[in-house]
Amino acid sequence: MKFTDMLRQAQQAHDSMLCVGLDPEPARLPGAWRGDAARIFDFCAAIVDATRDLACAFKPQIAYFAASGAEAQLERLVVHIHRVAPGVPVILDAKRGDIGATAEQYAREAFERYRADALTLSPFMGFDSIEPYLRHADKGLILLCRTSNPGGSDLQAQRLASGERLFEHIARLAAGPWNAGGQLGLVVGATYPQEIARVRALAPTLPLLIPGIGAQGGDAEATVRAGWRADAPIIVSSSRAILYASAGGDFAEVGRRVAQTTRQQLNAARGVN
């Protein structure tokens, strides 16, 4: 099944726009697991189990696994997600950005080794940095467009000779000539709701992955009002607020409650109770 179809079905089945980010830091693991990188899988799997009926997607960030030598645990985790939450897509957050044979290897890593359903990419080397991934026809490719960090303006907000800002040009390409197979989405940060709205206007049907709510300061209501349309999915990611809601043995239970509250806030912003 194509990523976009999986995403829409998961959103409908779970009445959810919430993506649970999986960014495990050994130093922040609960209780006796604290500092033990060997328990990364156990921690993330418990969060998945607790939120599997609340999420429209799960988003493991590869750096948190690789930095701890936990790539094998990431492989196990994706298998676990597909088993306990069938139909909920896994977005591997890696932000790859290379070309040619190297990009082909990154695509194999994401889609064959880790068996992700979608991958975040940096498009700043142009279409050459997208094309090798497009050969995996059922996979989603989510391009950095207008990111939530303050320094994103250094490049993304700059005006081109055409008068467009760079992030607007990326949105237009992703919604048009780059997206012949219907595989593309865009990353737009929750800290810039006006620019979410601008990207949505330029890319009216593309999935938007929106990080930055919760710990990063983005407003859930403003985010949904800017980006959500009935025929245009948004994937609103929350990581730390859910993962580290409790430092005790009840971390999964408390994380579930935070996820429930976040889902309700997102739904309320689009008029769904």
Catalytic positions, please? 95
18-22 sheet: strands from edge to edge: 57-60, 18-22, 234-238, 208-210, 184-188, 140-146, 118-121, 91-96
Other beta carbons within 10 Å of 163: 7
Tokens standing for residue 215: 């710990």
Residues 16 and 237: beta-carbon distance below 8 Å: no
Question: For residue 270, which amino acid is it?
Answer: R
Alpha helices in 85-176 (DSSP H): 100-108, 131-134, 153-156, 166-175
Q: How far apart are alpha carbons 142 and 112 in whole angstroms?
A: 18
| Cα 205–Cα 185–Cα 245 angle in degrees, nearest 5 | 110
Helix 40-51 / helix 71-84 crossing angle, nearest 10 deg: 20
Q: How far apart are alpha carbons 135 and 76 in whole angstroms?
A: 25
